[in-house]
Amino acid sequence: MRIALINGSPKVYKSASGSLLEDLKIYFAEKDEIVEVQVRSTALSDKVMEELDTADAWVFAFPLYVDGIPGHLLACLAQLEEAQLQNHAIRVYGIVNCGFYEGIQAEFALKILQNWCVKAGYIWGCGIGVGGGGGLAMMPQMEPGQGPKAPIEKAIGILAGQIQQQESKENSYVSVAFPRFLYKMGAQTGWRQMIRANGGTARDLGKRPE
């Protein structure tokens, strides 16, 4: 089976979407052929389009941007719809990484992807909304089933099976195994460290330019 892993994060380094695809890729290491695509612009090259056309499954992973799909990736989806690729037996899956704690906040971004499948003529598989994605790319590797990523890894494992079986299922939503108040505190501490590293103060985070 040929599976395209499509990273829709605009980030070059340390993207949570990339980290989630790496976790997924482990399940495909031996049996399947993997095509990896990075989408960091508003258009896909002809070469990428040709590669995608030969896949049996597309797995899009992207960050939740303003409750939806990042604009540059949305432009690429429109391009794929316009291109009318020959292979319409492609089954599409989605992983949405959400900076908020609740994975369910990715519900409508997955719905857009699902609606796109209908318009573009592809088969919708299913998707997962991952909450608490803000720290995923920085989390240390732990034993399988251990640590804050455990429920996310479990959901990724189930998704991998669904992709290999070419199944269409309901979307699922998962959050990092870490108390919400601690996740909130951790994020806020992180913003303060980052603004100080850029020469600002914690107070500057709330500036109101006019």
Partner 1 sequence: MKLIITDLENFNLSIKGEHKIIKPQGDIKHCIGCFGCWIKTPGKCVIHDGYENTGIDMGKCSELIIISKCYYGSVSPFVKMVQDRAISYIHPDFVIRKGEMHHKRRYKNVISVSAYFYGENITDVEKETARNILEANADNYDGQVKSVHFYKTIQELEGVIL
d(CA 178, CA 133): 11
Per CB under 8 A, does 108 bind partner 1? Answer: yes
Instruction: Determine, following the binding rule CB under 8 A, whether residue 118 of this chain makes contact with partner 1.
Output: yes
**Which region, judged by CB under 8 A, interacts with partner 1, from 20-28, 47-55, 158-166, 192-200?**
192-200
Question: Cβ(53)–Cβ(85) under 8 Å?
Answer: yes
Give the type of residue at 199: G
Number of neighbouring beta carbons within 10 Å of residue 94: 29
Site for partner 1 in 26-55 (CB under 8 A): 40-42
From residue 86, give the alpha-carbon distance in Å to each of 38, 79, 120.
Answer: 22, 14, 11
176 binds partner 1 (CB under 8 A): no
Q: Is residue 7 part of the contact set for partner 1 (CB under 8 A)?
A: no
> Binder to partner 1 among 20, 69, 130, 176 (CB under 8 A)?
69
CA–CA dist 48, 39 (Å, integer): 10
Residue 208 CB, nearest approach to partner 1 (Å): 6
- Of 14, 68, 9, nearest to 36 by C-alpha is 9
112 is a contact residue toward partner 1 (CB under 8 A): yes
One of 60, 100, 124, 173 touching partner 1 (CB under 8 A): 100
Instruction: Give ∠ CA 49-55-61 in degrees, rounded to 5.
Output: 80
DSSP state of 203: G
Annotate each residue in 127-166 with x if it binds partner 1 (CB under 8 A) or - if it does not, as one string.
Answer: ----------------------------------------
H and E: helices and strands count for the chain = 6, 6
Instruction: Based on the shown chain and the rule CB under 8 A, indicate whether residue 119 belongs to the binding site for partner 1.
Output: yes
Q: Which stretch binds partner 1 (CB under 8 A): 6-14, 24-32, 122-130, 161-169?
A: 6-14
Q: Decide: is 105 part of the binding site for partner 1 (CB under 8 A).
A: yes
DSSP string, 73-119: HHHHHHHHHHHT-S----EEEEEEEESSS-GGGGHHHHHHHHHHHHH
List of residues contacting partner 1 (CB under 8 A): 9-11, 15, 40-42, 63, 65-72, 74-75, 77-78, 100-102, 105, 107-108, 111-113, 115-116, 118-119, 180, 184, 187-188, 191, 194-195, 197-198, 200, 204-210
